[in-house]
Structure formats: structure tokens, C-alpha cells
Chains A and B, each alone.
Chain A
Amino acid sequence: MNENNITNKAVEINSLSKIYGNSSGNHFTAVDNVNLDIRKGEVFGFLGSNGAGKTTTIKMMCGLITPTTGHILLNGCDVARDHGEAMRQIGVVLEGTRNIYWPLTAWQNLMYFGSLKGCARKISKERGESLLKELELWDRRNDIIRNFSRGMQQRIAIACALIADPPILILDEPTLGLDVEAMQIMKALLKRLAQDYKKTVIITSHQLDVVQALCERVAIMHKGKIIADKNLNELLMLFGQGYYQIKIQGVFNGHRNDELKDFIIKEEEGVTLLTGAIDSQTKLYTLLDKIREKGMALLSVSPLEPDLEEVFLKLVKNEKEIDNHDNIKNYA
């Protein structure tokens, strides 16, 4: 047994890069020296804007794109050297509307993917039945996938990814295109998979609320690099600490002085909400004093629950500013 098999790492990515080149000598770095470990049983979120390199990284993990440098171990199996064994470690639903055969029934799809993953027919049947019952689709097992709703198709795709009981489940944009109800069902399903079945789940999504609701740890990619890799709470506290909402009665009649420079001020039904960052208790009290001096009635002061979307946007914005600064320096 490989030494890595006895470690607690489900995924190990070392010095992973992917550089695309064309015949005219232009190069594009899609993934730039990524190092990442994902623990067994962890629910891991991969975030990034379009073209950040998430899908390329995921596809390299699945052996669908050959890295330029670096290597990936899935439960200790090297994707490049031991492709067959590495593939037994993962069940994958890639981005897109399909991952399964639409002309076939749900049951035929499950049996096909079971065998494709090297599962014995008897085991596929047992697991297929249990998965369909779990997903509340057992009664529709003999229906053609084409006639299913988008949410049901996505659930069948996940069932197919799980048919061989892989320890790692990789989901690229699993909630894309789902309506609110289907998204709630999907979130609950993914939560159950992580909690009840102890799977390592890797999710990429643009829907940050989905990632915030499900993931324990989140990595953010920008221009092929990982710019943050932290536990969800740590990540939220990066920018979330010191955010307050101050509620006052009536219309705000003060000036946008230094304390309120970056505040969002909204008036709703006779109440004014002042929302923004205050990095020290002293500044908070100073601001409250000023509000009192203006004769405005204070209704409440509450620290704000940090939001992943805000953290993500700030991190990416910071990176863009660094890029611009570097570009200007290089130009000069």
C-alpha cells in the first residue's frame, strides 16, 4: 500500500500547472502552481470567477486534462500513473445539463454506469435501488430521462456518480439551472451525503450561498492561482469582522464624514439603516455619540453576519488591484 493511503488526505495536489500554447507561440496559463490538500470526509468548496481555473483543475483531477506540471493523488492513487485505481476513487458530475444518457431510463443509466466503473451487476442493483429510494425516484426508475425535470435529471446524475460507492464525490456546478425548490432538494441531498455517508465532497459553484451552506472549507481561485484556502468561518472573518448595521428612527440628517465614508445608507419606512465597517470599538462609540448629538433616535446596533459573496468579491478585487499595480510597474 502506498504511504499516502494511510494518511488522512483524500486529495493531494502538488505544484499543479496547466499552460496552453498555440502554434504562434502564445501561451496561456490556466492553472498556476496550485498546491492543495483535501481531507477525507471534508466538504470542500472551489470558488472563482469564469476562467479562474476551477474546471481545469477539476478536470485534471478526473484525468480528463493532462497537467503541464505537477501531480494529483486521489486517496493515494496517482491520476497519471495509476489511472484505473484513481478513477475508482471518484464519482463525478461535470458542469452542463447532462452527464447521463437521455434516451435510456433511470435504471438503465444506473446499471450502465455501475458496470462502467467496474461494479458487479448484483452490487449495482442493490445500490441502484437504495439510491433511487433515497432520492425519491424509485417509482420513476423505468421512465426515460428525457422526460424528467432538470432537478430530477441532476439527482439521477448524482446517483450515477455514486453507484460504485466512490469515497470522493466531485460536483462541478451541481445547482446550475435548478429552480428554487430543486436547489433546496439538492442542498439537502449534498448535506446528507456528507453527514450520513461520510463522503469527501468537492463542489464548485457560482452560487455562493450554496457553498456557504454546505462547505466546511473553501478555496478561491483567481487567474489560475489559489488566493485563499481557509475554513469557511476563517474566510468569512477575513473581511466580515467589524461590520455593523445601525438602525435610527427617521431620516438621517448628518454628514458623510470620515466614519461614514464607506457606509451604505438606506431609508425604509421611516427608519434609516447605516451599514458598513467599523474596525474598532472606539470608532463605534464616536459614531454613536455623533448620532446622539444630531438628536437622532437610535433603534439598534447589530454586528452583521459575514457573507461569503462579499468576502469573495473583496478578495478578487484585491487581487485585481495587485495585478493592475504590477502591470503599471512593469509598464513604467
Chain B
Amino acid sequence: MTTLKTMLNETYKGLLIAWNYKFETFLQLVMMGIVFIGIGFIIGGGQVSTGQLTYTLIGYSMWLYSSIVISGMCRDLLGEAQAGTLEQIFMSPVPVFLILIGRSLATLITATINILLFAVVILWTLKANISLQWQGLVIFIITMAGLFGFGFIIAGMTLIFKRVGELAGLTANALLFLNGSMLPVEQFPRWLALVAKTLPTTQGIILLRDTLLKMQPLYELWKDGSLLLLCSQSIIYFGGGLLVFIWCARKAKLQGTLGYY
């Protein structure tokens, strides 16, 4: 019970801090919209097609999640190291990886509010719609588990190598082109498609499009093995990510670099 309370306490603190940066968040939302419309024009060859945009919107939204989670985890940890609060977190009686999960929940909530706002405005402006189904929510949650696992790896690396920020930014940006946000993975060269499918969110985007746009039920996705692939990837990323984070935290304590920035 105490552990759960500590995790939720971390979530609450994350939300309080995010609220302090609401003006910056609003500017980010505007920026997201401009970039998305721009991408729509490029993909549509100078025209905005509603059908194409709803397709891209799903991928772009998932990429936004990737960007917020990957860059955010790295930036937050470095920021806390600089502020001296990171070491305070490591002095909690509750294991730090559980606190990290609580913090991830805050990131997920703030990212969801931002991205939902962005998506609603885009859909309303373009008079488009996406049929929301509960199957989509299941796929979204599984995809997020994998994405946060990947975020834990970046967070762990941040504890040891303090210059991971640039790499995190680069990784987040590369995902825009590699996870099928813009172009379907099937159109990639075979080798690149194989690489892309191992990345977090790629399989999630494919399945989200299948459920939300092609209306495919979950059991069909399970039958053809694509949902199983997503589940396996997310379990590996989440579990592996936590293990990497724990290992990196131990290494940072051995090197004495935990509070460095």
C-alpha cells in the first residue's frame, strides 16, 4: 500500500510540475499542429486529403508519444540531477524503479491530454473523424508499455552517460521516419522493414490503423499473430527496460556518478 501511494505521489508531483509549464505545453501543441499540417501537404503532394490525414494522424500521434516519453525521461532525470532532487529519490525506502513507473504514469497522462487536444483540434478543423473503439484502447495500452520500456533504457543510460540527451532526441526524431508514422512499413525496403518492426510503437501503429480504420476485431489480429507479436515486443521492452534501468542505477552507484549532470 505504501509503495502504491509513493508511486501515485510521484504521478501527482509530475502533474503538478507539468501544470507549471502549461504555457510551454500550449506552444508545443501549436507547433505540433503546424508540423502535422505541413507533413500532410508534403504527403498529399500539395493537397490535404482527409483520408490520408486520418491515416497519418494515428502514426503521428503515436510518434508524439514516443518523442515525449523518450526525450522527456532523459530530460527529467538530467534536470533532477542538476536540481539535486534525483539523489533524494534514490534515498526513498521504495525501490527507485517503482517510483520511475509512477513518474511514467504522470508522463502518460500529460502526454495523453496534449495529444488528445491536438487530435481533436485537427479532426475538427479538417472535418474528419476516427471511430473510437475499445479494441484500440487495448492496443494503445500494450504499445505504451513497450514504449515506456524503451524509455526506461534511455533513462538508465542517462544515469551513466550524462550526454544521452542528444542521442535521445535523435532516436525520437528517427522514429518519425522509421515507425511507419508517415509511410506504411510495407513500403520500406525489406531489411529496413525488418529493423522498423523491432522498434517500439511500429507494430502498435499498424494494429491501431487496422482496428480504428479497417475495423478489424482483436481476435482476428490475435489469429494472424500480429497482436501476439505486439504483446511479445512490449513484454520484452518493458521487462528488459526495467532490468536495464536497475543495472544502470547500480553501475552509476558504483561509479559514483548518480548525481552528476
B235-261 CB contacts (< 8 Å) to partner A:
250, 253-256, 258-259
Of B17, B83, B93, B250, which contacts A87 at CB under 8 A?
B93
Chain A residue numbers with a CB within 8 Å of B92 are 87, 116-118
Q: Flag if B253 contacts A115 (CB, 8 Å).
A: no
* A56 within 8 A of partner (CB): yes
Given contacts A65-B258, A98-B83, A104-B17, contact A116 B6 (CB under 8 A): yes
Given contacts A96-B84, A98-B85, A99-B84, contact A63 B17 (CB under 8 A): no
Given contacts A64-B90, A118-B6, contact A102 B83 (CB under 8 A): yes
Of A20, A62, A85, which contacts B91 at CB under 8 A?
A62
Chain A residue numbers with a CB within 8 Å of B258 are 64-65
CB distance from A135 to the nearest CB of B (A): 19
Which chain B residue lies CB-closest to A146? B20
Chain B residue numbers with a CB within 8 Å of A65 are 253-254, 256, 258
A-B contact pairs, 19 of them (CB 8 A): A18-B256, A64-B91, A64-B253, A64-B259, A65-B258, A66-B254, A88-B93, A92-B88, A100-B85, A101-B17, A103-B20, A104-B20, A112-B9, A113-B88, A115-B6, A116-B6, A116-B9, A116-B10, A160-B88
Chain B residue numbers with a CB within 8 Å of A59 are 87, 256, 259
* A90 within 8 A of partner (CB): yes
Which chain B residue lies CB-closest to A18? B256
Q: Quick one: which of B5, B10, B88, B89 has the most chain A CB within 10 A? A: B88
* A195 within 8 A of partner (CB): no
A81-135 CB contacts (< 8 Å) to partner B:
83-85, 87-88, 90, 92, 94, 96-104, 108, 112-113, 115-118
* B2 within 8 A of partner (CB): yes
Complex Cα gap A65–B258 (Å): 8
Chain B residue numbers with a CB within 8 Å of A104 are 13, 16-17, 20
Q: Flag if A118 contacts B94 (CB, 8 Å).
A: yes
Chain A residue numbers with a CB within 8 Å of B91 are 62-64, 87, 90, 92
Chain B residue numbers with a CB within 8 Å of A160 are 88
Which chain B residue lies CB-closest to A62? B91
Chain A residue numbers with a CB within 8 Å of B89 are 116
Q: Which residues of B contact A (CB under 8 A)?
A: 2, 5-6, 9-10, 12-13, 16-17, 20-21, 83-85, 87-95, 99, 250, 253-256, 258-259
16 additional contacts (CB under 8 A) given A56-B256, A64-B259, A118-B6:
A30-B256, A63-B90, A64-B253, A64-B258, A66-B253, A83-B93, A87-B92, A99-B84, A100-B85, A101-B13, A104-B13, A104-B16, A108-B13, A112-B9, A116-B94, A160-B88
Complex Cα gap A87–B95 (Å): 11
Of A20, A85, A96, A117, which contacts B255 at CB under 8 A?
A20
Given contacts A18-B256, A20-B256, A108-B16, contact A118 B88 (CB under 8 A): no
Of B20, B87, B93, B99, which contacts A64 at CB under 8 A?
B87
Interface of chain B, main secondary structure: helix
Q: Flag if B250 contacts A115 (CB, 8 Å).
A: no
Complex Cα gap A99–B84 (Å): 5
Chain B residue numbers with a CB within 8 Å of A87 are 91-93
Complex Cα gap A117–B90 (Å): 11
Chain B residue numbers with a CB within 8 Å of A99 are 84-85, 88
Complex Cα gap A18–B256 (Å): 10
Chain B residue numbers with a CB within 8 Å of A96 are 84
Chain A residue numbers with a CB within 8 Å of B13 are 101, 104, 108, 112
CB distance from B81 to the nearest CB of A (A): 10
Complex Cα gap A210–B2 (Å): 38
Minimum-distance CB pairs A-B, first 8: A115-B9, A84-B93, A103-B20, A98-B84, A96-B84, A66-B253, A65-B256, A87-B93
Given contacts A118-B93, A118-B94, contact A66 B250 (CB under 8 A): yes
Complex Cα gap A85–B259 (Å): 22
A166-205 CB contacts (< 8 Å) to partner B:
none
Complex Cα gap A90–B5 (Å): 20
CB distance from B234 to the nearest CB of A (A): 29
